[in-house]
Chains A and B, each alone.
Chain A
Amino acid sequence: MNWQLLPQMIATGLLAGGPLALMALGLVLIFKSSYIFNFAHGQLLLLGALITWWLAVPRGLPLWLAILLALVGVAGLGLLIERLALRPMTGQPLLSIILMTLGLGQVLHGLALLLFGGAQRNFPQLFAVANPYRITLPFLINGNPAVIILKQNLVWSFIIAILGVIVIGAFFRFTHTGLAMRGASEDHELAQSIGLRIHRIFGLSWALAGVVATVSGVLLATSSGLDLSLSVTVLAAFPVVLLGGLESIPGTVVGGLLVGLSQGLVSASKVQLVRNAAEIMPYIVLLLVLLIRPEGLFGQKRIERI
């Protein structure tokens, strides 16, 4: 363990947990309302970031307007996806639904490539890149005061991500629509029989997921650039969802921070091989969670009957 680097790596890891939590939130949103695990979330996120870029850079719109329009656009796309792709799958076996979202991901990937091309792009900066925050810790390591350097865009991404999770969590907890969504997720038929329009609820949750995806896409693009590999980043959020529990919104934050922290800890190792393991750390966490506690930290344990 490289003690000199450890505080820095822990801080960076935790900060990376913010965007991870936001991505996980998009997955949990859809799972909570319709019991669908959305493998196409990464492509949704990519499209959100690409549309923002397209409006802001070649079209020259102000960035806030571009983001707003992209939010509306991707929310519309979410509605469309629910109507065209997922509604026919109601009542189909799990495998079909998983494959549907996988196929959807392929289609969205193809569309993104066709409309925007595969080049690496510079995304307009939301936050100042210069003068990162420096925090001096109140203890010494090897005789030197420990200093943590935090890039501004990472810090702000983290804050926005956590705020987003809190807002959506409050929406689920306190609003009438949120209550309806929670009801629909319990039992589709029962929800329908008490007068909830579950298709409208599913559509709404897909639109919301589109909004969340765009926000996380924009945040990721500002900190790590914009190209097609952005959609792969979401795969690191799957372990977060499982760790937190598939139905739990607070779980996304806890899971995100834990997965980010695990990556940070591994990055502080002195052994090259272990350091390189940072990229697969989420999946190792995932396998451990599946073997030890499959329902995650805050998920519901389902009991099966024949």
Chain B
Amino acid sequence: MAVLRPAGEFDTSYAYDMATIRRRWQWAVLFAFLAALYLLPLYASQGLVALVNRIAIAIIAVQGLNLLTGYTGQISLGQAAFMTTGGYISALLVNRLDWPFYFSLPAAALGAGVIGLLFGLPSLRVKGFYLAMATLAAQFIIPWFVRNAYKDILNGAQGINVRAPVLFGLEFNNPQRYLYLSLTVLVVTTIVAHNIARSRLGRAFVAIRDHDLAAELLGIDLFRYKLQAFFLAAVYAGLAGALAAHQIRHLNSETFNLIDSVTFLGMLVIGGLGSSLGPILGAIVVELLIEGATLIGPFFISVFPATAAGAVQALRPLFFGTTLMLFLIFEPRGLAHRWQIFKAAWRLRPFSY
């Protein structure tokens, strides 16, 4: 779809043409929204703040997945395994070596990225189903390693307790305080992801997604760019995993599991592949769905007592799976695409085209 600009607005400079946020009122709306988010602890309940935390962490993981799956077209079922990697690295550095959080977080990102590179290696030879399987292998091998290797440090299947991060003398030990941390990381990572996508790197990614052989003939180094995409996705997963681990304060091999990886892919599709708005919308919708299932659960049990205690756990995959399937059938380009259509319609109003 061509970019529709309102009448009377002219691109007088290159910078203005490329700007993501173009008008002054858009900046104002953005800052008002961010301010409302940052001030959330002042007026919202603890439950809502915790939910926003979860959404923020999910968005970070899905932004990374979007770079790999949405832009580069490589399917990954291993995002949760890289979160486990990042979570353990940061937790151990803080717990054992007393590293400050602002060092352990980048270390977690980098460590997860390196592991991501390792499991991205098969992508050079295989794609599609085969690649999904290769990343699925990560989803089994990494948790197995955590359960069985170095039991004195990793503490096997029981997992480890994680300290709350301390930054500049402030301990982030409740959801309200943690919100500042996760929101800040979220804002930075989203800006970075958005700009990677429209840089030289992002254009190479898109070329590989659209036709990898053709991209190679154009001189795009598949080896380099595919591995970079895997690295970036795992870095984002590492950040998200570290943030989640320090928030939950406990970590074991099943904290982030295969279902989470599938959920991230679902968020990406529901939000819209290949747009930095997609992961945000998708993560919000899916987390709200899961939250809704948790709320409806007790009511559901009172109406159908036969289903008993499993109902809440049953409703989550049911809601999520149904939504994912409906989106795949009726709007495979996701909510971000819907939003584009809506914006275009608004600009053309009262004409239909």
B299 CB-CB contact with A under 8 Å? no
**With A89-B329, A235-B136: A106-B262 Cβ-Cβ less than 8 Å:** yes
Give chain A residues whose Cβ lies under 8 Å from the Cβ of B317: 106-107, 109-110, 113
B128 CB-CB contact with A under 8 Å? yes
Identify which of A104, A117, A283, A287 contacts B321 (C-beta below 8 A): A104
Interface positions of A from 88 to 109, Cβ below 8 Å from B = 88-89, 92, 94-96, 98-100, 102-109
> Once the chains bind, are A94 and B144 in contact (CB under 8 Å)?
no
Interface of A is mostly: helix
Which residue of A has the minimal Cβ distance to B149? A273
> Once the chains bind, are B213 and A306 in contact (CB under 8 Å)?
yes
> Once the chains bind, are A114 and B315 in contact (CB under 8 Å)?
yes
Which residue of B has the minimal Cβ distance to A276? B148
Give chain B residues whose Cβ lies under 8 Å from the Cβ of A96: 269, 328, 332
B348 CB-CB contact with A under 8 Å? no
Query: Smallest Cβ distance from B222 to chain A, in angstroms?
Result: 13
Give chain B residues whose Cβ lies under 8 Å from the Cβ of A71: none
Interface positions of B from 167 to 213, Cβ below 8 Å from A = 211, 213
When each residue 125-160 of chain B gets 1 if its CB lies under 8 Å from chain A and 0 otherwise, what string results? Answer: 110111011101100110010011100000000000
> Once the chains bind, are B318 and A111 in contact (CB under 8 Å)?
yes
Give chain B residues whose Cβ lies under 8 Å from the Cβ of A88: 329
A46 CB-CB contact with B under 8 Å? no
- Give A287 to B316 CA distance when docked, in angstroms: 32
Interface positions of B from 42 to 82, Cβ below 8 Å from A = 69, 73, 75
> Once the chains bind, are A110 and B130 in contact (CB under 8 Å)?
no
> Once the chains bind, are B320 and A242 in contact (CB under 8 Å)?
no
- Give A214 to B31 CA distance when docked, in angstroms: 56
- Give A279 to B141 CA distance when docked, in angstroms: 9
Which residue of A has the minimal Cβ distance to B212? A304
A238 CB-CB contact with B under 8 Å? yes
> Once the chains bind, are A99 and B324 in contact (CB under 8 Å)?
yes
A191 CB-CB contact with B under 8 Å? no
A5 CB-CB contact with B under 8 Å? no
A11 CB-CB contact with B under 8 Å? no
A290 CB-CB contact with B under 8 Å? yes
> Once the chains bind, are B141 and A283 in contact (CB under 8 Å)?
yes
- Give A246 to B140 CA distance when docked, in angstroms: 21
Which residue of A has the minimal Cβ distance to B121? A291
Identify which of A99, A286, A306 contacts B266 (C-beta below 8 A): A99
> Once the chains bind, are A287 and B134 in contact (CB under 8 Å)?
yes
**With A277-B144, A294-B126, A306-B217: A117-B265 Cβ-Cβ less than 8 Å:** no
Identify which of B121, B132, B211, B318 contacts A114 (C-beta below 8 A): B318
Interface positions of A from 52 to 102, Cβ below 8 Å from B = 85, 88-89, 92, 94-96, 98-100, 102
**With A94-B129, A95-B69, A286-B137: A110-B314 Cβ-Cβ less than 8 Å:** yes
B26 CB-CB contact with A under 8 Å? no
- Give A100 to B327 CA distance when docked, in angstroms: 10
Give chain A residues whose Cβ lies under 8 Å from the Cβ of B325: 85, 100, 103-104, 107
Give chain A residues whose Cβ lies under 8 Å from the Cβ of B133: 238-239, 242, 286, 290
- Give A103 to B329 CA distance when docked, in angstroms: 12
B219 CB-CB contact with A under 8 Å? no
Give chain A residues whose Cβ lies under 8 Å from the Cβ of B262: 102, 105-106
- Give A280 to B331 CA distance when docked, in angstroms: 37
- Give A117 to B269 CA distance when docked, in angstroms: 29
Query: Smallest Cβ distance from A54 to chain B, in angstroms?
Result: 13
> Once the chains bind, are A290 and B134 in contact (CB under 8 Å)?
yes
B340 CB-CB contact with A under 8 Å? no
Query: Smallest Cβ distance from B40 to chain A, in angstroms?
Result: 30
Query: Smallest Cβ distance from A258 to chain B, in angstroms?
Result: 16
Give chain B residues whose Cβ lies under 8 Å from the Cβ of A111: 314, 318
> Once the chains bind, are A114 and B314 in contact (CB under 8 Å)?
yes
Interface positions of A from 107 to 146, Cβ below 8 Å from B = 107-111, 113-115, 117-118
**With A238-B133, A286-B134: A105-B75 Cβ-Cβ less than 8 Å:** no
> Once the chains bind, are A110 and B328 in contact (CB under 8 Å)?
no
Identify which of B130, B147, B258, B307 contacts A294 (C-beta below 8 A): B130
Residue of B130, B217, B321 with most partner-chain A CB within 10 A: B321
7 closest Cβ pairs, A-B complex: A110-B318, A106-B321, A107-B321, A113-B314, A103-B324, A114-B314, A110-B317
Q: What 5 new A-B contacts, CB under 8 Å, besides A114-B311, A291-B122?
A: A37-B129, A106-B266, A239-B133, A276-B148, A284-B141
A-B CB contact pairs (8 Å), 6 listed: A37-B132, A85-B329, A106-B259, A118-B310, A273-B148, A286-B137
